[in-house]
Structure 1
Amino acid sequence: MKHFYPNLQLVAFTIFFLSIVPVLGQTTGVGIGTTNPRVKLEVAGDARVQNTVTISTINDLKDDDTSTFLIQDGNSKIKSLDVSNPTGAALGYIQIYELYDPQEDWVFDFDTRVDANEFVLNTLSASYDRELDINSNATIPFYSAFIKDGTWHITADFPAANNLNPNEKGTWTITTLIYSKDLSKQFGRIPVAMEEASTQSATNPFID
C-alpha cells in the first residue's frame, strides 16, 4: 500500500495563514502581548529589530527649511517638537528682560519665577543704558543668575559706580537662555581644595 506524506512546511504555512487572516480583518487592530490593542498594531513589551527600519527618505535641510524633533514626555509618549513655532515647546528659550528704573544701576534681586527644579537659566549678556560716574575706578558690569526659594533670580550691577546723573532712570537689558533639565545631564557638584593657591586642576575630568 502506497502512503502519501504532504509537505509539512506547506501545511504549517497554510494553517498559520488561515489563522491570521481573521485577525488582520479586525478593525480594532492587532495586539502582540495584549488582547486590547489601541491602534492598528500594538506591541506590549520590548521589541528588537535585527536590521534597519526605514521610515522615509530624509533630505538635507536647506537654509529656509524648518527642523522638527521627536521627544519623549513623562508619560513615555513620543511627540513632535517644531522649534520654529514661537508659541510651542522648544529645546531652549531665549528670554530678554528689560528692568526699568532700578536703584541707581543696581539690581540686587530680580525673581524670574522660572522653576529651578525644572529648568536651567543662564545669563548670556547684560547692558545698562546710562552714563556712570566711574572716575578713576575701573568697573565692568557684573550680572549672574542664582537659585533662591526654588526659582531663578538675577542680579546686575556696576561695582564701585553709580549713575552720573542720580535723577536719571536707567534700564538693564539682560538676555537669558532657559532650557529644560530633561535636555541636560546633571553631574552635581565637584569640591576642589584650592589650598590657598590661585591655580588648581581637577583630579579627573568629569567627562571625556
Structure 2
Amino acid sequence: MKNITLSNVFLIILTCIFTPALFAQDGTGVGIGTTTPRLKLEVAGDARISQGASIGIIDNLENDDTSTFLIQEDSDKIKALDVSNPTGAALGYIQVYDIVNPNEDWVLDFDTGVSATDFVLNAISASYNRELDISNGYTIPYYSAFIKNGTWHITADFPDANNLDANQIGTWTVTTLIYSKDLSKQFGQIIIPMNNNSSSAATTPFID
C-alpha cells in the first residue's frame, strides 16, 4: 500500500471541492462549467483545442436543407453564415441589371456603386433586346466590368452596329456575379508570356 502524504490529501480535498462546479453529468449528457448540460457534451465558457478535433459522420446536404457555413473572424470568433437569408451576408451574389434606353445599343459607363475595395464583380452574361443594323458586317456583343473611382462599372456595346430602328427603346440585361473579398481568396494577377506564339501553358497551377 502506498504512503499517503499531506500533499496527496490536500490534492484530493481540492478535487472534491472544485470538480462539481467544473464537471457534471446527468442522465442526458456531460457538462463542463455547467451542471445542466443540454446535449451529450456542453462546454459553458471558452474552449481551446491545441491538437485538433475529430468530427463524426455528417449527413449529406439534401435539397430542402438550409446551407450554413461557419466563418472565423479576425477576432477568432466563429459566426454562422446562412446563405439562404436573402438580406444577410453570403459567399457570392448574383445581381441582374436591366439597363433601359441607352444611346442606341451603347452603354459606355454604368456605375453599379459596388465597392471595389470590398467586392469583386464579374459580368458573366449580357443580352440586348432589339434588332440591330449589321449591314456593315457581323458583330458580337462586348461587355465588361471595370473599376473607376473606387466602384465597379459596366460597359456594353455591339461594335459597328446600331438599332435597326433608331426610335426604339432598347434594354441591356447584364448578369453579374459578385464576391465578397472577406469571404474569398484573392490570388492576384498572373502574367503569361506568349513569346509570339498562339498557345501556352502555366508552369505550375495556381491551385490544385
TM over 0.5: yes
1:41 aligns with 2:45: yes
Equivalent residue for 2:180? 180
1:99 match: secondary structure: strand
Distance 1:96 1:59 in 2: 34
* Alpha-carbon RMSD: 3.1
Structure 1 residues 42-65: Cα deviation after superposition (integer angstroms, max 9, x where no partner): 25xx532465256xx743322112
How far the C-alpha of 1:149 sits from its partner, in A, is 1.6
2:54 aligned partner, one-letter code: T
How far the C-alpha of 1:181 sits from its partner, in A, is 1.5
| C-alpha distance 96-7 of structure 1, shift in aligned 2 (>3 A) | same
Equivalent residue for 1:5? 3
Equivalent residue for 2:72? 72
2:113 aligned partner, one-letter code: R
1:88 aligned partner, one-letter code: G
1:81 aligns with 2:81: yes
Distance 2:65 2:199 in 1: 47
CA contact (8 A) 2:136 2:161 kept: no
Distance 2:71 2:186 in 1: 19
Taking only the aligned residue pairs, the percentage that are identical comes to 58
Distance 1:77 1:183 in 2: 15
1:18 match: secondary structure: helix
Matches within 5 A, 1:100-139: 100-135=100-135, 137-139=137-139
Distance 2:134 2:144 in 1: 21
Unaligned runs of 5+ in 1: 31-38
TM-score, structure 1 normalization: 0.78
TM-score, structure 2 normalization: 0.78
How far the C-alpha of 1:82 sits from its partner, in A, is 1.1
CA contact (8 A) 2:141 2:159 kept: yes
- Aligned partner (choices 15, 22, 25) of residue 17 of structure 1: 15
Structure 1 residues 20-60: Cα deviation after superposition (integer angstroms, max 9, x where no partner): 247549xxx96xxxxxxxx93225xx532465256xx7433
2:13 aligned partner, one-letter code: I
Structure 1 residues 83-130: Cα deviation after superposition (integer angstroms, max 9, x where no partner): 111111111111000101111101111111111111111111111010
Equivalent residue for 1:52? 54
1:156 aligns with 2:156: yes
Q: Alignment length, in residue pairs?
A: 191
Equivalent residue for 1:200? 200
Distance 2:190 2:175 in 1: 28
Equivalent residue for 1:170? 170
Distance 2:45 2:144 in 1: 51
